[in-house]
């Protein structure tokens, strides 16, 4: 029997609220979303919700192990529901696209430190930076990558497109 999202929240000791359910659905609908994009998605579904309530829900879901938070250098935090493994990410410096990359070698933590300095390592987070296939194929992307963080560019492009529609 499959558990409902409400059952999953209860199983993890979290109170079931409309906001948490909507945040979980938003993150489940598309991987690697920023909190701002999650907030926009949730507002479209449930109406008014503060950005702080979205952050609180994201934090509770991450602490409960239901979602994963990644923070690429120079970018806003991203959230995803793929939590069952220790995978990595590839990020395009040109368009901000983010893709999951399976573990480099073996089982978690995937990479063995040359000197673990006594740590009991249980996770490795690797981000591969480069140019996605679409940008590599696009002649206009032969210019050098922009210095603006990729996720911020992606959010601004999304906002500009929705401003044009209004």
Domain ranges of the chain: 1-84, 85-148
Arithmetic mean of pLDDT, 34-54: 94
**What are 40's two structure tokens?**
């926009």
* Local confidence band at 139 (pLDDT 50, 70, 90 cut-offs): low
Please determine, looking at this structure, whether the domain spanning 1-84 carries the CATH number 2.40.30.10. Answer: no
What distance in Å separates the CA atoms of residue 139 and residue 94, rounded to the nearest whole number? 12
Q: What is the 3-state secondary structure (H, E, C) of 44-103?
A: HHHCCCCHHHHHHHHHHHHHCCCCEEECCCCCCCEEECCCCCCCEEEEECCCCCEEEECC
Sign of CA dihedral 136, 142, 145, 151: negative
The pLDDT score that the predictor gives to residue 17 is 93
pLDDT tens digits, 48-100: 999 999 999 999 999 999 999 999 888 899 999 999 887 889 999 999 899 99
What distance in Å separates the CA atoms of residue 43 and residue 35, rounded to the nearest whole number? 12
Domains 1-84 and 85-148 in one fold: no
Whether this prediction's pTM lies above 0.85 is answered by: no
**What are 85's two structure tokens?**
């493994």
CATH class of 85-148: alpha beta
What distance in Å separates the CA atoms of residue 18 and residue 60, rounded to the nearest whole number? 14
Under 8 Å between Cβ of 84 and 65: no
**What are 71's two structure tokens?**
């923070």
């Amino acid at each position: 029997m499959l558990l409902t999202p409400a059952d999953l929240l209860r199983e993890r000791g979290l109170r079931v609220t409309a906001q948490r359910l909507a945040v979980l659905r938003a993150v489940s609908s598309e991987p690697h979303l920023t909190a701002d994009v999650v907030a926009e998605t949730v507002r479209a579904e449930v109406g008014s919700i503060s950005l702080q309530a979205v952050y609180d829900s994201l934090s509770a879901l991450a602490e409960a192990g239901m979602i994963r938070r990644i923070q690429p250098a120079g970018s806003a935090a991203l959230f995803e529901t793929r939590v069952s493994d220790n995978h990595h990410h590839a990020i395009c410096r040109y368009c901000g696209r983010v893709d999951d990359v399976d573990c480099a070698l073996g089982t978690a933590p995937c990479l063995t430190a040359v000197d673990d300095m006594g740590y009991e390592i249980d996770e490795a987070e690797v981000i591969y930076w480069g140019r996605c296939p679409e940008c590599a194929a696009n002649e206009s992307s032969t210019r050098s990558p922009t210095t603006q963080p990729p996720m911020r560019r992606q959010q601004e492009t999304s906002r500009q497109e929705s401003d044009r529609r209004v």
